């Protein structure tokens, strides 16, 4: 059974700092990996989707990488802003099943 | 715009009562999913449906039921058998080339 782990569970940084969120998974036979953002009391907003054949995806200040062989993905946020404060979840998809990590709660202080 | 609509946003259930959460999508996605989210925990799969008139149990299906009579709709019923239903419920659909799309969620509280 696929297990997804996100480290750290919480992170607090000053505005303007670059940061990295980590996601690891136990079964490397994934179809894709997706990073989401969740604001308190809200649904999940998709940030980046990486297909299994890809190694990274970029959108604005966000860059996500995927290393299937080591079972790892990272989400890099450049020049963080207070508006980036949210919980970030990664999820891996294979065999008609998507497994989620528990998330990293990010706080960016002005 | 295409998307997933969940209703209601807030729902209160009395002890012993069944309640139904609505999930509607206009994305033309075949597969739909229901997840439960508890504070500080990841999402746990309740039920999913790959096609109309077919659905499968997820990890925590006990106390829940679903139907899939139309491609666009995948309602979730929380029955009286679910002893701890207070949680945030999220519905999603998937296009494998574009990943998951989620609704805005329903917060269910037992009163």
Render pLDDT for A67-91 as a digit per residue (tens, 0 to 9): 999 999 999 999 999 999 999 999 9
**Do B102 and A31 make contact, defined as CB atoms within 8 angstroms?**
no
CA distance A49 to chain B (A): 6
**Do B42 and A96 make contact, defined as CB atoms within 8 angstroms?**
no
Q: How far apart are CA B19 and CA B63, in angstroms?
A: 11
Closest CA to A98 of A9, A35, A8, A6: A35
Q: For an interface test with B, which of A47, A73, A97, A98 has the most B Cβ atoms less than 10 Å from its Cβ?
A: A98
Q: Does B45 touch chain A (CB under 8 A)?
A: yes
The pLDDT assigned to B77 comes to 97
**Do A96 and B101 make contact, defined as CB atoms within 8 angstroms?**
no
Report pLDDT digits (tens) over A20-64: 999 999 998 888 999 999 998 899 999 999 999 999 999 999 999
pLDDT-above-90 percentage for chain A = 85
Asked whether the predicted pLDDT for residue B56 surpasses 80, the reply is yes
Report pLDDT digits (tens) over A41-50: 899 999 999 9
The pLDDT assigned to B97 comes to 75
Q: For an interface test with A, which of B30, B43, B59, B88 has the most A Cβ atoms less than 10 Å from its Cβ?
A: B43
At B73, the pLDDT band (50, 70, 90 cuts) reads very high
In this structure, is the dihedral angle defined by the CA atoms of residues B54, A32, B95 and A83, taken in order, positive or negative? positive
Q: How far apart are CA A11 and CA A68, in angstroms?
A: 25
Q: How far apart are CA A25 and CA B35, in angstroms?
A: 20
The pLDDT assigned to B1 comes to 62
pLDDT-above-70 percentage for chain B = 99
Chain A CB contacts of B40 below 8 Å: 102
The pLDDT assigned to B98 comes to 76
């Amino acid at each position: 059974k696929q297990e997804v782990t996100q480290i750290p569970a919480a992170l607090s940084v000053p505005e303007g700092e670059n940061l990295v969120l980590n996601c690891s998974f136990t079964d490397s036979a994934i179809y894709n990996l997706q990073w989401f953002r969740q604001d308190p009391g809200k649904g999940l907003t998709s940030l980046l989707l990486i297909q299994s054949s890809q190694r990274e995806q970029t959108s604005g200040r966000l860059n996500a990488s995927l290393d299937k062989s080591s079972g790892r993905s990272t989400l890099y946020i450049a020049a963080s802003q207070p508006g980036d404060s949210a919980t970030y979840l990664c999820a891996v998809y294979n065999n008609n099943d998507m497994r989620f990590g528990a998330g990293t709660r990010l706080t960016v202080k002005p | 715009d295409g998307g997933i609509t969940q209703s209601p946003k807030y729902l209160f259930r009395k002890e012993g009562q069944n309640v139904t959460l609505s999930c509607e999508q206009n994305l033309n996605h075949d597969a739909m999913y229901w997840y439960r989210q508890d504070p500080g925990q990841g999402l746990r799969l309740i039920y999913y449906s790959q096609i109309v008139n077919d659905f499968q149990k997820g990890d925590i299906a006990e106390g829940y039921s679903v139907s899939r009579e139309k491609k666009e709709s995948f309602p979730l019923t929380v029955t009286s058998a679910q002893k701890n239903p207070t949680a945030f419920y999220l519905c999603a659909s998937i296009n494998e080339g574009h990943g998951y799309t989620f609704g805005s969620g329903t917060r269910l509280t037992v009163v």
